[in-house]
Amino acid sequence: MASSPETTSPALPPGVKKTAPAPPPSGLHGIVAIPMITAAKQFTRSLWRPSTIVYPYERLEDPSFRGRVAVASGRPIGVGEVWDNYRGVHALNITTCISCNLCAFSCPDTCIEMVSVPTEGGKTKRCPQIDYGKCSFCGFCSDACPEGCLTMTTNYTLTTSRRPEMVYSPQRMYSIYHSKLPMNPIRLERPENEDCILLDQDLCIGCNACARDCPTQCITMIDIPKPEPAPGQKLPKRIWKEPSVNDADCVRCGTCISVCPKECLYWGARP
């Protein structure tokens, strides 16, 4: 009756494995030798170096610590170059940020706010400011960043005793960028046939708002011919210009859609 765990009973459908039934009680409740020997084996294995890591003194992400750690359970997988994939505190390169708002748009927790930061030449620029009290480190923002300026580092020590310190200003993330921590190198693959910006020509008034606010300057206003009004028909009051999107440069941030006063731009499949 005792079926070994390897046999498959003919009554069972294919692909089903019957596990071994419970061993009958041995009659002596004192038979505990095998578990005790198993525990003793582990005892001898962990005498020299247990599998735990003395955390504040040894850190897996510490480059100088890498290569040294080998514990009883083998080398932890996180040790080595793959630790670089870790999604920790963000680093922001202010100089390459194009203020496209994509990070703030893509944040599921709405923890990113675009704030003004001064740049060289007395100008200001809008860069993301992250509230780590809300952030869930999902990485959608760094996936969305078209310029690769908002990345995630391996730093995860955010502990603070005051709530305002959880808000990281762009300058603070810029200093993290300069600290040369390993950056998360993963880039999201973009779909090849991404939607592009389309124009409803009947509604456009040629106001130049989209071209003015486009962070990549990929929108140019081109002249369109002023049509001859049909008899009895009045031409619409507008500037006879129309935006043209350079699709190769467009990062699909949607700024033009949001600034358009006439709601004439929209997402659509590439014609």
Partner 1 sequence: MSATLYDVAYWISSHLLGALGGLPASSLPGAWGVGATALAWLITAAVVFAASLVNILVLIWWERKLLGRFMDRRGAMHVGFAGLLQNLADGLKLFRKQVFSPREADPLGYYLAPTAYLITSIVLLGFLPVSAGFVAGAVPLSLLLALAIFSFAPLFIFVGSWSSNNKYSLIGGMRTAAQMVAYEIPLLLSVVSVVILSGSFDLGTIVQDQARDGWYGAPLILGLIVFSVAILAEIERIPFDLPEAEAELVEGWNTEYGGILFAMTMMTDYIRSLVGSYLVVLLFLGGWTLPTWGGLGILSSFPLSGILWFQVKTYIVFGVFVWVRAALPRVRTDQLLQIGWRRMLPLSLLNIAIAAGWVLAGWPHLTWPSV
Partner 2 sequence: MSEMWINMGPQHPMTHGLWNLRVKIDGEVIVDADPEMGFLHRGIEKICEYRLYNEVVTLMDRCCYVAGMSWEHLYMMAAEQALGVEVPERAEYLRVMSAELQRLGSHLMWFAAFVQDLGLMTPFLYGMRDRDLVLDLFQAYTGARMTYEYMRVGGVRNDVPVGFTDRARRVMDWLDQKIGEYEDLCDKSDIFVARTQNIGVLSASDCVNLGVTGPMLRAAGLPRDLRRDRPYSVYPELDFLIPTHEGADVYGRYRVRMEEMRQSIRIVRQTLDYLDRHPGRVLAERVPRFVGAPAPVPGKETYVLRRGYPKGRGFAAIEEPHGEATAYVVNEGAENPYRVKFRSPVMVNISAAKSYLVGYRVSDIPAIMGSVDICVGESDR
DSSP 207: -
Give the type of residue at 169. Answer: S
Closer to partner 2 by CB, 79 or 117: give it: 79
Reading the block at residue 155, the tokens are 């730093």
Q: What is the largest CA-CA distance in the chain?
A: 109
C-beta of residue 97 within 8 angstroms of C-beta of residue 149:
yes
Binding of partner 1 at residue 31 (CB under 8 A)? no
Contact set for partner 2, span 184-243 (CB under 8 A): 184, 186-189, 191-195
Give the type of residue at 45. Answer: R
Q: How far is the CB of 200 from partner 2 (least distance, A)?
A: 8
Task: Give the binding-site size for partner 1 (rule: CB under 8 A).
Answer: 20
DSSP 78-91: TSSGGGGG---SEE
Binding of partner 1 at residue 40 (CB under 8 A)? yes
Identify the residue whose tokens are 């700024």.
Answer: 255
Q: How far is the CB of 158 from partner 1 (least distance, A)?
A: 23
Binding of partner 1 at residue 28 (CB under 8 A)? yes
Work out what residue 40 binds among partner 2, partner 1, none; the CB cut-off runs from 5 to 8 Å by kind: partner 1
Secondary structure class of 37 (helix, strand, coil): helix
Binding of partner 1 at residue 1 (CB under 8 A)? no
Closer to partner 2 by CB, 10 or 231: give it: 10
Identify the residue whose tokens are 């939607």.
Answer: 195
Closer to partner 2 by CB, 22 or 230: give it: 22
C-beta of residue 197 within 8 angstroms of C-beta of residue 267:
yes
What is the distance between the alpha carbons of residues 141 and 136, in angstroms, rounded to a whole number? Answer: 11
Give the type of residue at 173. Answer: M
Q: Which of 63, 148, 236, 268 binds partner 2 (CB under 8 A)?
A: 268
Q: Which of 63, 67, 78, 236 binds partner 2 (CB under 8 A)?
A: 78
Binding of partner 1 at residue 72 (CB under 8 A)? yes
Contact set for partner 2, span 23-52 (CB under 8 A): 23, 25-26, 28-32, 34-35, 37-39, 42, 51
